[in-house]
Structure 1
Amino acid sequence: MKLSVAITSLLLVSHSLVSIAQRTPVSYVNTLIGTAPANTESARQHSEASSELKGQTLPSVGVPYAMTQWTPQTRASETKCIAPYYYTDTRMHGFRGTHWLNGSCVQDYGSVTLMPLSGSLKVKPDERASAYRHETEVASPSYYKARLDDYAITAELTGTSRSGLMRFTFERDGEAYVLVEPNSDEGEGFIQVFPEKGEIVGYNPVHRIYQGSGQPAGFSGYFVIRFDRPITQYGTWTKDAIQANTATAQGRGQREGVGAYVGFGSKKQVVTARIGTSFTSIEGARRNLEAEIGNQSLEAIRKTNENTWNQSLGKMAVKGSEEDKTLFYSTLYRTKMSPRLFSDVNGNYPSFAGGTSIMTANGFDYYCDFSLWDTFRASLPLHTLLDPGKTAHMMQSLTMKAEQGGWMPIFPCWNQYTAAMIGDHVLSVMADAYVKGVRDFDVEKAYTYLRKNAFVANADPKSYIAGQGRRALASYLQYGYVPLEDPVKEAFHKQEQVSRTLEYAYDDYCLSVLAQGLGHKDDAAQLQRRALNYQHVIDPATGYARGRHADGRWIASFDPFAKRASFITEGSPAQYTWFVPHDVAGLSRIMGGKERFLSKLDTLFEQGHYWHGNEPNHQIAYLYAYAGQPWKTQRWVSKIAREEYSTTPGGLSGNEDGGQMSAWLAFSMAGLYPVCPGSPNYVLGSPLLEEVQFNLDNGKKFTIRAQGVSEQAPYIQSATLNGKPFTRTYLTHQEIQQGGTLVLRMGKQPNTQWGAKPEDAPPSLSGR
């Protein structure tokens, strides 16, 4: 008897181990992380926004970089800073084909919502909404399911790059309706029902945000919906007034509602809706639907979707605890929501910046929604490392935007110029791609427009106001910094002169790298000199970034730890001081040397001034490695990763911002970080995972193995690269691309000798 029990127990354990071993990357993804108010220390200490604005992610279904994602909807609007779904909401308005920029504080656009209901017909979102329970919710990258308790309807979603499939199971008798709503907040949507074909088509005009806010963006979100059941009744509504047997509705503005409904009879039944989307036309949406879904079942699309995610997520194969695998693969999933595929299956896409013509992407996919102020830091470098082919398409997309609009866009979203954030970080992402071997795009053409951004102040008031050209470039070129006298009025973020100077100096460094690589030596030399402009806004007396007048005087009233200063972007001077990623050694010298540099870093972290919830802080913990104390990088990176992220719905400390918040963690859990995109180096930190294997597109594999790592043992004791002793605190992109194994022996106490020599530190523009 005892033997039988022992054998049974052994079999159960074996089965459990096999189940764990057979789990695929996509099975670890929790898409609900970041959909609830943040519960991290950073959010509690630093956030000045509404708590529901933290995270701002969606439990979206689709494939990586999809044109349209599919999500449950608990908020019925395309209003700025309101995501379609919040975990804490208790009622569901429908299921949306969304173009929400993942984790942002922007707005949805060109979206469409479907809502099933039974019994009486109700069209207002708040009136038709149904209770639902998280206990019956299934959320994964390839499939979503929820039960609408008020109607006894089970809704299921899956999707492809440009199309989606929804299945509604009506569990009780009562007229079965599906409502379709183009979510035009301006009330300009159009919808048409073809009952004999079982089809609804329509569009939702897109409007600009930031510069030119409210103006037409020059395109719409189009959709074609096909139902697999005969339509027995139909109608439309405008201003919430229902008109039965009317096939067409056109919103007339004034923010009035517009939509259509179809009925399928009163018996229990299952209704499937296949939905194609496009930014070019209804016919484009129809082509996308036919090419990607056709008559395939939900199960078939879901399976293909799962395979696509496993292939994409599997480019980083990890070993660690089950909890850490969930944390990691959920993180990696969120980095792949943007940029957004914008072209149809035949390559058609709307011309950039409101042009009326339809363009065709020949030999590449056209992407948009880059959120470059956020994603240049780690999100786009992660794409460059894992998906160099897609990165080339993204770089070509940016080049085409410049050709069509006349200027290289700085923060391209909604297929428009925006002037939304500061800096000129398109220079960073293109230089980073180039130095890491991604060159399958028109680099010389791109350089022409990048150079224009850096050297030409836009003198045309109309196009400058619309967002073309660097903000305050004339001042920057005249003084070598943006003085306080320049209010930078033609920008969404006005003033912020010191932050602009720091970011422009870094961007100039990046363009110098690209200029050098392309043989433009005079440009490279001039840009390298300009890359030192950061020195003009670091006050040697205090060692902090500080506002400066045109005559050279420093701003009189100054507190480096003030949470908001007019000359700083979304942070304090003490935080922004560290944004000199290209010349950390030079920054150290201005501060008065290594000891003062380290002392200021210690003050930032030990006194609680570090704010992980916003991007300008993300590289700071890695800067200890530049000053001979990499063990402090290891301490703080490990602490930040454990305290600022979790697998709960509130497990993000700040807005996801196009994947950047997660890209920091994806890199950091692996044990490295691209402190200075535009250079080929990754600074080592403290891995959270026992092993990460990069399965590279060139067929090589690079492994980082952290022996003995744990939350109590975050410190590197020694290292070997391909069996040879390794003391450098950074890896090069070429070393990773060549394949091999980096073994890190971890311990509970810091080894203050490892990586402490000057030659071990990452290089800077002005040396080590």
Structure 2
Amino acid sequence: MASGAIPTSKTRFRKDSRAAFRPRRPGQPLWRSKWANRSILPRGRGRLALYLFVFVVVVLLVPVPGLGSLRQLLLGILLFPFSASSRSRPGREVLKYIDPLIGTANGGHVFPGASMPYGMAKPVADSDDRRENAAGYVQDVSLIRGFSQLHDSGTGGSPSLGNFPLFVHPGCPLDDITMCSFSARSRAVMRWPYSASAKPGYFSLRLKNSVAAEMTASEHASLYRFSFPDEDDSENGQDISVEYSPLILVDLQDQDNSRHNGGVHVDPKTGRITGDGDFRPSFGTGVYEAYFCADFQGAKIRRSGVFMGDNPHEDRQSIEKDPEGKFNVPSGSAGGWIQFEPPTNGHILARVGMSFMSREQACENAEREIPKLDFDKTVEKVQDAWADKMSVIEVNEADIDPALLVTFWSGLYRTMLSPQDYTGENQLWESKEPYFDSFYCIWDSFRAQHPLLSIIDPVAQTRMVRALIDIYRFLGKLPDCRMSFSKGFTQGGSNADVVIGDAYLKGISDGVDWATAYEAVVSDAEVEPKSWNTEGRGNLVSYHQLGYIPSDDIDHNGTGRNTRSISRTVEYAYDDFAIAQLAKGLGNEADYRKYMQRSTNWKNLWNPHQADSYIQGPEEVRWSKFKGFLQPRLLDGSFAHHDTRLCSPVHEMHKCYLDTRWATYEGSPWLYSFYVPQDMAALVETMGGKKAFVERLQYFHESGIVYMGNEQSFLPVFQFHYGGRPGLSSYWAHQYIPSLFNTTYGGIPGNDDCAMGAFSGLAMMGFFPVAGQDVYLLTAPFFSEVKVRARNGGWAVIRILNFDPTYHAKYIQHATLNGKPYTKSWIKHDFFVQGGVLEYVVGIGESTWGTKEEDFPPSWPWPPVVEDASKSL
């Protein structure tokens, strides 16, 4: 057979081949013909090309004197197409630093597939490793069950979404469709190790059943390109000849096997497959409906049908629920399939439109967004969208380890995967407001992701705030967690209050109904829902009357997990602080005073006598020097005991998850004792003053009690500012990046929640937000210069005048803002609105910069401290 020829249906796939796979660049077809002549050297022009290639490699790589100019000429010729491409598409060059595979192992649960920013369609290969596959794909050696259309990124818990997976067979043994595998369990196949390739808007993987898959996406549709290299194992591992006649199935199932009801229809003439199902959310209560519409191109249809389990039916083209209830589509794998003649150009394209409204809308979404099944142009469109999002930030790449650039840009990229924009797809109510879903969960994201978006994508952040308010408008409560049109479980406080308060302070207001927003946050503070497992706050009678949540409280007004009394108390207190700031801004002085008073409720759980103990050696109990911690308190006012290190990495870390019976959530009393962002001055004094506070916070980081895989550990990295030691904040930021935040597949310390990337991105740019306040804590950036597009169109520039690429000099010695000395260790949001230039000189040791009381970040004591006027006389 001539080189490049397409095999016929009689071509056999052999079991004895082990062809290696090398990842392709986005847009490059994965299939390559191997039916050509198999001599070691090509013939004719091919051999000449090989000799020329070897010559070029020698010239470029072998250190021969006198070839310097020739090397430069050859490099210029080779790189000219890429340089021209970069010039024609400004901003695209930054995409080379984004690696979506970071965090796809070791519990990161990052979605690495194709997606528009905040896009609904998210195709990727689904692994069958249930411990890790919350986002579908896992970078390990687990089997692949298919390529599904919807995913969340970075979640914990059960697998999320993963609806309507495609699966591709290169053919069936003996050309008998009954010998192909159809169910999710039986069809799972090995992948070529490390064959995954991912860039923004593109993902590819090669399977060991001779299928190579590439995928990209629009806002509501997936586009696949399936190719069929011929020398891999057959899909069932049996030494049986397989006819080259691709079969593609669409399963109605989701990742968590939660589907019930639904149906599928196959059009045998056009090959269009449509279907739907009802599904459960992965971290909440309720049911949602989803719909798909799949079209194919590239090969003639041989036959089609439906399947249930591992039983295909060629004589049947639909499975639908009987309106009279006499027949329901059975649970488990079921769907439609099409078998094709060998494709004329070596690959088959598959477009899958998605909707939460109807099959018809799924088809309309696909036809509108990807009218022509042009894979390369679709990749270009989504990559242009990502380049545009990233263009608001520029960093000086000179003298920087490329791995740090990858850590930085990949982190920022992940912050724009979720929440997902479902506007126009809201199946619950009609509204002209935006609708975002997959707030998964605000308990995680309010601390870093939403404040970051307020800077780099205020338009999207505004739309998210409007969506939160609209959820309240129709459901009566703001969500703390929400996914798939369902109420998610509440992990702590009502933290949408902080998101809304933060947005108000930072001018995120275009189209925001602040009257309804204020009504929503006050509802959280005052009105207990029937079930505070999924919204609002619980134990409000005691919280209002006693100023804390008693660990033995009996709640007659609602139901919920009567646990986490420490973590919920301090979170409610800070939520009240956020409400107070909004009340003040809206001119409600009485409410401002009320909620500021409640913001001091953390003090009611402070037990100054609680000591800190730990086990050393087999049974030896030791006591640290630190005394005074948040502790659970009973209705009668007495303190109960909660081990100060329980639920930390050094002591039974996994006891404080959602079903915990303890007083803290995903963290220890050590951790929560630092959570007083509203009045750090009071906390510092409570802990014994600045020196004692810094010593305690330093011990917290040095002793392994902190777990950076949970978002509540982010702010303590920078709280040294409140003790007059901003240099230590810089020190610890450099300790955690890159030791815990790096470019490996497990390169984040916990599940991402679209917040881990926000932490690394903010820390590397040299500022970290105190969410719910107009405060950014300043440290030296990881770059000699960072530029952030200001809202007025200019730039907010942070520059190190004597940048040290070894980072020995990472402590700010002095600073200027727009040419004038700047001694404060923090800055306001106005810097990112109006723009300006913040310049540093750094050194190898801490300095006096930011260490004076007047330069500390602000605290808001209540009642406010009033200076004695006589002192100024």
The CA deviation string for residues 284-320 of structure 1, in whole angstroms up to 9 with x for no partner, is: 2122112211114011111111110001122111123
TM-score w.r.t. structure 1 length?
0.90
On the 8 A contact 1:633/1:686 being kept in 2, the answer is no
1:110 deviates by 6.5
Partner of 1:44 in structure 2? none
Contact kept in structure 2, 1:191 and 1:203, CA below 8 Å:
yes
Which among 259, 267, 287 is matched to residue 194 of structure 1? 267
Tell me how far 1:147 sits from its aligned partner: 2.1
Residue of structure 1 in register with 2:576 after alignment: 508
Residue 561 (structure 1) shift: 5.7
CA contact (8 A) 1:74 1:92 kept: yes
Equivalent runs, 1:77-88 vs 2, <5 Å: 82-88=134-140
Do structure 1's residue 91 and structure 2's residue 175 form an aligned pair?
Answer: no
Match of 2:335 among 248, 259, 273: 259
Q: Are the equivalent residues in 2 in contact too, given 1:719–1:726 (CA < 8 A)? A: yes
How far, CA to CA, are the matches of 1:253 and 1:282 in structure 2?
17
Taking structure 1 as reference, are residues 476 and 230 closer, same or farther at Cα in structure 2, changes over 3 Å only? farther
Which of 656, 677, 680 aligns to 2:771? It is: 677
Aligned match of 2:651: none
* 1:656 and 2:752 are equivalent in the alignment: yes
Maintained 8 Å contact 1:59/1:72: no
Q: Is the 8 A contact 1:119 1:175 kept in 2?
A: yes
The more displaced of 636-645 and 501-510 is 636-645
**Segment of structure 1 superposing worse, 561-570 or 334-343:** 561-570
Once the 2 structures are TM-superposed, how far is the Cα of residue 747 of structure 1 from its aligned partner? 2.3
Quote the Cα distance in structure 2 between the aligned partners of 1:624 and 1:452: 35
Which residue of the partner structure matches residue 47 of structure 1? none
Q: Mind listing any 5+ residue stretches in structure 1 that lack a counterpart?
A: 38-53, 352-357
Which residue of 150, 155, 174 maps to 2:213?
A: 155
512-521 vs 91-100, which moves further: 91-100
Displacement of 1:547 in angstroms is 1.1
Q: State the Cα distance separating 1:126 from its structure 2 match.
A: 4.1
- The alignment status of 1:629 with 2:711, answered yes or no, reads no
> Are 2:633 and 1:548 equivalent residues in the alignment?
yes
- Decide which moves more: 615-624 or 740-749: 740-749
Q: 1:357-368 residue pairs with structure 2 within 5 A?
A: 358-362=429-433, 364=434, 366-368=436-438
Q: Gapped runs of 5+ residues in structure 2? A: 1-58, 173-179, 231-242, 322-327, 610-626, 649-654, 657-661, 866-873
Q: Counterpart of 2:782 in 1: which secondary structure?
A: coil
Q: Which moved more, 1:570-579 or 1:708-717?
A: 708-717
Match of 1:483 among 529, 535, 550: 550
Which residue in the other structure is 1:520 paired with?
588
**Cα distance, 1:90 vs structure 2:** 4.3
Give the aligned partner of residue 192 of structure 2: 133
Deviation, 1:396, is 1.1
**How is 1:283-682 mapped onto 2 (pairs within 5 angstroms)?**
283-320=360-397, 321=400, 322-343=402-423, 347-351=424-428, 358-362=429-433, 364=434, 366-440=436-510, 441-458=512-529, 461=530, 464=531, 467-486=534-553, 494-541=562-609, 542-556=627-641, 558-560=643-645, 563=648, 566-657=662-753, 659-674=754-769, 676-682=770-776
Q: Structure 2: how far apart are the matches of 1:557 and 1:324?
A: 40
> Matches of 1:313 and 1:437 in 2, distance apart?
22
Q: In the alignment, is the contact (CA less than 8 A) between 1:110 and 1:222 conserved in 2? A: no
CA 668–557 in structure 1, closer or farther in 2 if over 3 Å, else same: closer
Q: CA deviation at 1:117?
A: 1.0
Q: Which has the larger radius of gyration?
A: 2
Deviation track 1:524-563 (CA, whole Å, cap 9, x = no partner) reads 1100111111111122333211111122211146434663
Q: What whole-Å deviation, never above 9, does each CA across 1:629-674 have from its counterpart, x for those lacking one?
A: 11111111111122111111011111102x1111111100001101
- The residue aligned with 2:123 is 70
TM-score (norm 2): 0.79
Which residue pairs with 2:292 in the alignment?
223
Query: RCO higher in 1 or 2 (8 Å CA, sep ≥ 6)?
Result: 1
Total equivalences in the alignment: 729
Aligned to 1:8: 70
Secondary structure at 1:446 match in 2: helix
SS at match of 2:152: coil
**CA RMSD across the alignment:** 2.6
Answer whether contact 2:108 2:751 (CA < 8 A) is retained.
yes
Deviation digits for residues 414-467 of structure 1, max 9, x if unmatched?
A: 222223311111100011111101112111112112111111223xx4xx2673
Report the AA paired with residue 684 of structure 2. S
Matched residue of 1:93: which SS?
Answer: strand
Q: 1:686 offset after TM fit, Å?
A: 3.5
Counterparts in 2 of 1:89 and 1:134: CA distance versus 1, 3 Å: closer
* Residue pair 2:791, 2:833 contacting (<8 A) in 1 also: no
Shift in Å at residue 748 of structure 1? 2.0
Is residue 686–residue 716 contact of structure 1 (8 Å, CA) maintained in 2?
A: yes
SS of alignment partner, residue 198 of structure 2:
strand
Closer, same or farther: CA 80–403 of 1 in aligned 2, 3 Å: farther
Cα 1:436–1:338 change in 2 (3 A) is same
Provide the secondary structure at the position in 2 that maps to 1:164: strand
Report sequence identity in percent. 28
In 2, distance between residues paired with 1:253 and 1:509?
51
Deviates more, 1:22-31 or 1:441-450: 22-31
What SS class does the counterpart of residue 232 from structure 1 fall into?
strand
Letter in 2 for 1:570: E
Amino acid across the alignment from 1:400: D
